[in-house]
């Protein structure tokens, strides 16, 4: 195939100067569009000493099985091209293990119990123990009613958490869905097919077009081989491979056939390491769990203070009997802790997930919705995410050099392309003419020479049916094509071509030259009248149609977008310019070397924060970028589609797998898009901010109710020796939480900037509302006990017709009055916490308002008719119900004024203090964490303990052992830690030399 080219070069009299310049052009083109070829190295050790120490083999400065010459690979792995024998293969399988991942199985029962291992659950459990065990005495039975109610709520909460976690998706299992179950291997000098799981380092393997590379290998034979590794490295083009190159396990052979020696298998491979990164970060608690920990701790501190005060006051001061004091303590434990807070927030998030499903987004971890609302930086993969991962001719940049138009050049290039068994280049060229049938219309194919790594071009000889003339077209690498163009190759043309190729290179466009000649006579194998350069095509991976609008929308929502791609820097910059991302991007090596001296960046963190993106990155680079941004106090979202994105998707606060993503990416992601494009992300961000507002509203409400219950009933006990029945507090909690769950569909507006949990504001509002509502109850009780106002004005009475409560502060009807007053105004508080202005200016959802009305009706019915013997209450008259309703309306109206007063004073001071702290820390270069209080690490450790607790428990009872997957569940991975193979062999040398 190369003979005609050689003959033409010999026959033609091209001047010396262009011939001298040509190698420079080829070198420049390879540099721009291929991997820079680094010559093979030798292991920097004495090759006579095969039994190297592990320390030597871990030092990649001495041994790197990926780059050393193939002969050294055979020596280090103690093998040959004849393959291993059966006995040695069996020995190595025991050494290295099967070519697959191992997964840790978690016992479902212990996992369920683990959800009862956190501070909120501990208080619930303590209250249950008090009700059933410690309350047994003084001739009274245990408090079964409270015990059953508490345990029921505890199990409901745990069941929801268990269901969510079990169905959130397992990233390692998803990685294993990308399989290569069979491999062709040479054992005992013969080729045979075996389970890929049985491959070991040192095996000789073979694969051809359409096969998945079954293990990490170095090529010992390569025949026109092209490997698609886009899902592994992010490169948009299939890569041609030659003798000695490394092939990544899990990549797909798109052309040719090859043989290679296995250098790494299973968890020792590149994506074995990637799989180990998935789910193995140090952050064992999610963002929402951290916030819940701090809110829970606030409630616990409030409860603890007043429980201790009651113990000292009631027992030491009032000399209460054992059971009477416990009932008062139980009121604080049951009423104070927001026992349904995790349940309410889970329901809110679950409803949000259903709403996002309408936009074709599947939420696999519902707490990610809350985190998405606070995301400040969106890191995105390029290939297949921002772009289509389908090569396209960029018609706007086509260059012509002869009599043909741009459209003619594209058509002629399509002639010189395969119409079946196409590679990526041929496919995009034929696709550029619209109708693929035009690639052979009007011509009769006489000879076709496909692309090969030697000639680096394709060529067609055909007869034009309309004129009967023989013509020939070739397309390929610019440096190769220009050598053939004897008809119009001049210094001026070469200068122009060189400038055009250079422009393409700086813009990340791949150049494809097209040349044309005519043949005299009827011999289609004869020499033509000389090739003429007619055009230069620019090939690129185009952005998705909606990507630019999505990025613009994300920026408008206050989110910084960064591109993180495995493709080349020039291509990344061009894509960034087309999308409006900017082209301030860096190669991956800066992540190791850091900023150059004298640049504007003082450290690597500053550079990462300032950059528009990074190119040439591997999975661990993406992971490191996300981790560093999180360390700077940012919440990061990551979008991707390939297995190479899985570790970063897992590490990110919110991992988003786009439509068409690999199983590995979907398994590691929190949100999976099922429709093309990224516009769903913007819908998800807006939706998550709506959900965030609902959760914030509930958090203020829950903390306020805690303060209201704890302070109110403690003061009533201290001031009036008032013994409120614990069961009625449980009824209040049930009715409140039943109403509040409708917040999940409440009508709120999203914010225009990333949300953050400012817990100081939440606690300040909660204390103000809680103390005010406490005052409303204490004032009501004080008037009933100390005066006869209500008895005289409204003609109401207490139990037995009493017209005063002065003699009996624990009158059963007085208990019911307090119950009704607390139940009504506590639920009404939500209308104040959910609004930013006057409560009547922001219309609630029909569900919330309807639930409130039903709850108040139930509360009023209980007050009017309940006469339960097991608890200290008695029904009250309609007069008292009316009094309580009027009383609550009077006290409810000023709540908005308290909100405005708080905004103008305390909240304003908190925000100014926060802003000043941010400015001061930014000026000092200290990372600012936006969402955690100073004590956050202490509180979240209590939630982290749930993870370590369940693991320890699993080991003690014999669960959680390593479980080998079935052989057909082989993962597709690739290699970067191949030196582990040599290290293991060095510690366990063969009995016979290979």
Please answer whether residues 170 and 62 qualify as being in contact, where contact means their C-beta atoms are separated by less than 8 angstroms: no
Give 715-720's long-range contacts (Cβ < 8 A, gap of 24+): 715/774, 715/778, 716/777, 716/778, 716/781, 716/818, 717/310, 717/313, 717/314, 717/328, 718/309, 718/313, 719/778, 719/782, 720/781, 720/782, 720/785, 720/809
Q: For 341-365, write each residue's pLDDT tens digit.
A: 766 776 677 777 777 777 777 777 7
Q: What is the mean pLDDT of residues 275-303?
A: 66
pLDDT for res 244:
87
Please answer whether residues 727 and 366 qualify as being in contact, where contact means their C-beta atoms are separated by less than 8 angstroms: no
pLDDT tier at 178, thresholds 50, 70, 90 = very low
pLDDT for res 929:
41
Q: What is the mean pLDDT of residues 903-910?
A: 90
pLDDT at 965 over 60: no
pLDDT tier at 593, thresholds 50, 70, 90 = confident
Alpha carbon 198 to its chain's center: 33
The answer to which of 78-92, 155-169, 902-916 has the lowest mean pLDDT is: 155-169
pLDDT tier at 318, thresholds 50, 70, 90 = confident
- Residue 645 DSSP one-character state: G
| Domain spans of the chain, in order of start | 54-101+185-278, 287-352+686-748+756-912, 361-388+544-674, 395-540
pLDDT tier at 92, thresholds 50, 70, 90 = confident
Q: 54-101+185-278: what CATH class?
A: mainly beta
Q: pLDDT: is 226 or 139 the higher one?
A: 226
Percent of the chain with pLDDT over 90: 20
Average pLDDT over the chain, rounded to an integer = 77
- Residue 37 DSSP one-character state: P
pLDDT tier at 860, thresholds 50, 70, 90 = very high
pLDDT at 85 over 70: yes
pLDDT at 931 over 60: no
Query: ∠483-487-492 over CA atoms, to 5°?
Result: 75
pLDDT at 278 over 70: no
Is 381 one of the annotated active-site residues of the chain? yes
pLDDT for res 858:
94
pLDDT at 373 over 70: yes
pLDDT tier at 287, thresholds 50, 70, 90 = low
Q: What is the mean pLDDT of residues 904-927?
A: 74
pLDDT tier at 136, thresholds 50, 70, 90 = low
Query: ∠325-326-331 over CA atoms, to 5°?
Result: 100
* Host H or E run for residue 933: none
pLDDT tier at 831, thresholds 50, 70, 90 = very high
Q: Which residue, 994, 802, 990, is CA-closest to 92? A: 990
pLDDT at 443 over 60: yes
> Alpha-carbon distance 812 to 824, whole Å?
19
pLDDT for res 46:
52
Q: What is the mean pLDDT of residues 249-253?
A: 78
> Alpha-carbon distance 294 to 444, whole Å?
77
Q: Which residue, 711, 389, 365, is CA-closest to 566? A: 389
pLDDT for res 272:
63
Q: pLDDT: is 963 or 217 the higher one?
A: 217
Q: pLDDT: is 266 or 718 the higher one?
A: 718
Q: What's the CATH architecture for 361-388+544-674?
A: 3-Layer(aba) Sandwich (3.40)
Give 183-187's long-range contacts (Cβ < 8 A, gap of 24+): 183/214, 183/215, 185/83, 186/82, 186/83, 187/83, 187/84, 187/85, 187/86, 187/89
Strands 457-464 and 443-449: antiparallel
* Four-residue CA torsion sign, 443, 447, 453, 456: negative
Helices 812-833/846-865 angle, 10° precision? 170
pLDDT tier at 55, thresholds 50, 70, 90 = very low
pLDDT for res 265:
81
Please answer whether residues 641 and 658 qualify as being in contact, where contact means their C-beta atoms are separated by less than 8 angstroms: yes
Q: What is the mean pLDDT of residues 168-180?
A: 38
pLDDT tier at 233, thresholds 50, 70, 90 = low
286 CB-near residues (< 8 Å, 6+ apart): 365, 367, 368, 371
Q: How many CB atoms lie within 10 A of CB 434?
A: 10
pLDDT at 855 over 50: yes
Q: Which of 64, 143, 203, 381 is catalytic?
A: 381
Largest interatomic CA distance in the chain:
127
Q: For 547-563, write each residue's pLDDT tens digit.
A: 888 888 888 889 999 99
Tell me the sheet residues that pair with 143. Answer: none
pLDDT at 618 over 70: yes
404 CB-near residues (< 8 Å, 6+ apart): 412, 516, 534, 535
> Alpha-carbon distance 104 to 374, whole Å?
32
Pick the CATH number of 287-352+686-748+756-912 from 1.10.760.10, 1.10.10.10, 1.20.1110.10, 3.10.100.10: 1.20.1110.10
- Residue 94 DSSP one-character state: H
Q: For 574-591, write each residue's pLDDT tens digit.
A: 888 888 888 889 888 888
Which of 46-50, 139-143, 186-190, 765-769 has the highest average model confidence (pLDDT)?
Answer: 765-769
Q: For 6-52, write each residue's pLDDT tens digit.
A: 333 333 444 433 333 443 433 333 233 333 334 455 555 555 544 43
> Alpha-carbon distance 258 to 248, whole Å?
13
> Alpha-carbon distance 946 to 115, whole Å?
7
pLDDT for res 939:
45
pLDDT for res 602:
80
Give Cα separations from 773 to 705, 743, 767, 892 (angstroms).
Answer: 9, 21, 10, 9
pLDDT at 202 over 50: yes
Q: What is the mean pLDDT of residues 701-718?
A: 92
Which of 101-105, 228-232, 313-317, 889-893 has the highest average model confidence (pLDDT)?
Answer: 889-893
Q: What is the pTM of this model?
A: 0.66
Q: pLDDT: is 292 or 215 the higher one?
A: 215
Percent of the chain with pLDDT over 70: 77
CATH 3.40.1110.10 matches 395-540: yes
């Amino acid at each position: 195939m190369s003979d005609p080219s050689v003959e033409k070069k010999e026959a033609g009299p091209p001047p010396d100067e262009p011939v001298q310049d040509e190698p420079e052009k080829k070198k420049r083109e390879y540099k721009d569009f291929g991997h820079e070829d680094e010559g093979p190295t030798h292991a920097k050790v004495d090759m006579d000493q095969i039994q190297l120490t592990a320390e030597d083999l871990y030092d990649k400065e001495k041994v790197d099985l990926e780059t050393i010459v193939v002969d050294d690979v055979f020596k280090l792995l103690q093998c040959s091209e004849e393959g291993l024998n059966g006995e040695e293969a069996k020995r190595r399988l025991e050494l290295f293990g099967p070519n697959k991942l191992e997964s840790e199985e978690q016992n479902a029962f212990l996992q369920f119990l683990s959800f009862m291992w956190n501070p909120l659950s501990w208080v619930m459990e303590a209250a249950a123990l008090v009700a059933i065990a410690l309350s047994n005495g003084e001739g009274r039975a245990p408090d079964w009613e409270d015990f059953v109610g508490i345990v029921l709520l505890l199990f409901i909460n745990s069941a929801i958490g268990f269901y969510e976690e079990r169905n959130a998706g397992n990233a390692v299992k998803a990685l294993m869905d990308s399989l290569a179950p069979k491999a062709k291997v040479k054992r005992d000098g013969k080729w045979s097919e075996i389970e890929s799981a049985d491959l070991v380092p040192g095996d000789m393997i073979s694969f051809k077009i359409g096969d998945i590379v079954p293990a990490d290998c170095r090529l010992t034979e390569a025949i026109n081989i092209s490997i698609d590794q886009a899902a592994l490295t992010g490169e948009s083009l299939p890569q041609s491979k030659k003798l000695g190159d490394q092939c990544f396990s899990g990549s797909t052979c798109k052309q040719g056939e090859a043989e290679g020696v296995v250098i790494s298998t299973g968890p020792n491979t590149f994506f074995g390491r990637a799989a180990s990164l998935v789910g193995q970060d140090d952050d064992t608690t999610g963002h929402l769990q951290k916030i819940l920990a701090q809110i829970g701790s606030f409630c616990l501190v409030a409860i603890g203070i007043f429980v201790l005060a009651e113990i000292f006051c009631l027992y030491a001061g009032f000399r209460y009997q054992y059971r009477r004091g416990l009932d008062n303590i139980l009121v604080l434990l049951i009423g104070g802790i927001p026992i349904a807070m995790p349940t309410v927030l889970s329901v809110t998030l679950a409803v949000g997930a259903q709403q996002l499903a309408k936009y074709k987004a599947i939420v696999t971890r519902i707490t990610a919705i809350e985190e998405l609302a606070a995301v400040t930086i969106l890191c995105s993969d390029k290939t297949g995410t921002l772009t289509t991962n389908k090569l396209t001719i960029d018609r706007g940049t086509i260059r012509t050099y002869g009599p043909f138009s741009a459209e003619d050049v594209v058509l002629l290039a399509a002639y010189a392309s395969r119409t079946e068994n196409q590679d990526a280049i041929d496919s995009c060229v034929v696709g550029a003419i619209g109708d693929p049938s035009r690639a052979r219309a009007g011509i009769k194919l006489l000879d076709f020479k496909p692309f090969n790594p030697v000639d680096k071009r394709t060529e067609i000889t055909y007869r034009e049916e309309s004129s009967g003339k023989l013509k020939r077209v070739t397309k390929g690498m610019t440096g190769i094509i220009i050598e053939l163009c004897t008809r119009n190759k001049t210094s001026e043309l070469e200068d122009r071509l060189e400038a055009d190729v250079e422009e393409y290179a700086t813009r990340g466009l791949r150049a494809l030259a097209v040349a044309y000649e005519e043949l005299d006579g009827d011999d289609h194998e004869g020499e033509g009248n000389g090739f003429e350069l007619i055009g230069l095509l620019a090939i690129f991976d185009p952005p998705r149609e909606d990507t630019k609008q999505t990025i613009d929308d994300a920026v408008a929502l206050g989110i910084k977008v960064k591109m993180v791609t495995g493709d080349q820097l020039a291509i990344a910059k061009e894509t960034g310019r087309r999308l409006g991302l900017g082209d301030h991007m860096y190669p991956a090596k800066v992540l190791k070397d850091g900023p150059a001296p004298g640049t504007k960046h003082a450290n690597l963190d500053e550079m990462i924060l300032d950059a528009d993106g990074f190119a040439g990155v591997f999975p661990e680079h993406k992971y490191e970028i996300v981790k560093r941004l999180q360390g700077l106090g940012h919440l990061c979202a990551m979008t991707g589609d390939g297995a190479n994105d899985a570790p970063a998707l897992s590490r990110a606060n919110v991992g988003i797998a786009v439509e068409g993503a690999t199983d590995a990416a979907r398994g590691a992601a929190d949100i999976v898009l099922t429709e093309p494009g990224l516009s769903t992300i913007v819908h998800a961000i807006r939706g998550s901010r709506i959900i965030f507002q609902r959760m914030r509203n509930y958090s203020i409400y829950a903390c306020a109710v805690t303060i209201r219950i704890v302070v109110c009933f403690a003061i009533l006990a201290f001031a009036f020796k008032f013994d409120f029945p614990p069961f009625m507090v449980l009824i209040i909690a049930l009715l409140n939480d039943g109403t509040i769950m409708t917040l999940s569909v409440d009508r709120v507006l999203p914010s225009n900037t990333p949300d953050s949990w400012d817990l100081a504001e939440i606690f300040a509002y909660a204390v103000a509302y809680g103390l005010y509502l406490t005052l409303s109850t204490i004032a009501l009780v004080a008037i009933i006990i100390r005066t006869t106002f209500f008895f005289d004005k409204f003609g109401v009475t207490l139990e037995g017709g009493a017209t005063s409560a002065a003699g009996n502060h624990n009158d059963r009807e007085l208990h019911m009055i307090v119950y009704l007053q607390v139940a009504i105004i506590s639920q009404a508080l939500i209308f104040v916490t959910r609004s930013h202005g006057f409560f009547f200016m922001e219309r609630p959802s029909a569900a919330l308002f309807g639930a409130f009305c039903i709850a108040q009706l139930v509360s009023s019915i209980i007050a009017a008719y309940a006469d339960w013997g097991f608890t200290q209450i008695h029904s009250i008259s309609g007069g008292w119900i009316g009094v309580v309703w009027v009383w609550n309306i009077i006290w409810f109206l000023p709540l908005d004024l308290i909100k405005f007063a708080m905004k103008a004073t305390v909240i304003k001071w908190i925000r100014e203090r926060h802003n000043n702290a941010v400015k001061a820390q930014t000026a000092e270069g200290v990372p600012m964490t936006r969402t955690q209080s100073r004590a956050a690490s202490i509180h979240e450790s209590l939630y982290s303990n749930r993870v370590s607790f369940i693991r320890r428990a699993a080991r003690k009872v014999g669960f959680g052992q390593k479980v080998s997957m079935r052989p057909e569940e082989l993962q597709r991975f690739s290699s970067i830690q191949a030196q582990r193979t040599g290290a293991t062999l060095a510690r366990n040398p063969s009995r016979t030399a290979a």
